[in-house]
Amino acid sequence: MNIFKALLDLVNGHKMNTGTIVILATLIIEQFLGVSKGEAGNIVTNIMMGIGGITALVGYIHKIIKGLNK
């Protein structure tokens, strides 16, 4: 997926999927922090993995609490 298609889809009201978020975040980090494209991609990937891990942890805790309240 390229950046122009991602921006065009965003302008046309399409939902942002994970690929679009990664592309836009990589571009922003690359431009504002002045790092290489590969390093920016690694930073974004690590951030997305962290968010996914936290979401899974909260889900597991919620499932345990929900099971205890029955």
59, burial (CB in 10 Å: exposed 0-12, middle 13-18, buried 19+): exposed
pLDDT at 6 > cutoff 80: no
1 confidence band (pLDDT: 50, 70, 90): low
4 confidence band (pLDDT: 50, 70, 90): confident
Q: Is the dihedral of CA 24, 25, 30, 32 positive or negative?
A: positive
Model confidence pLDDT, tens digit, residues 37-64: 899 999 999 999 999 999 999 999 999 9
Determine the structural domain holding residue 14 and report its residue range.
3-68
Q: What does pTM read for this prediction? A: 0.69
In the chain, how many domains are there?
1
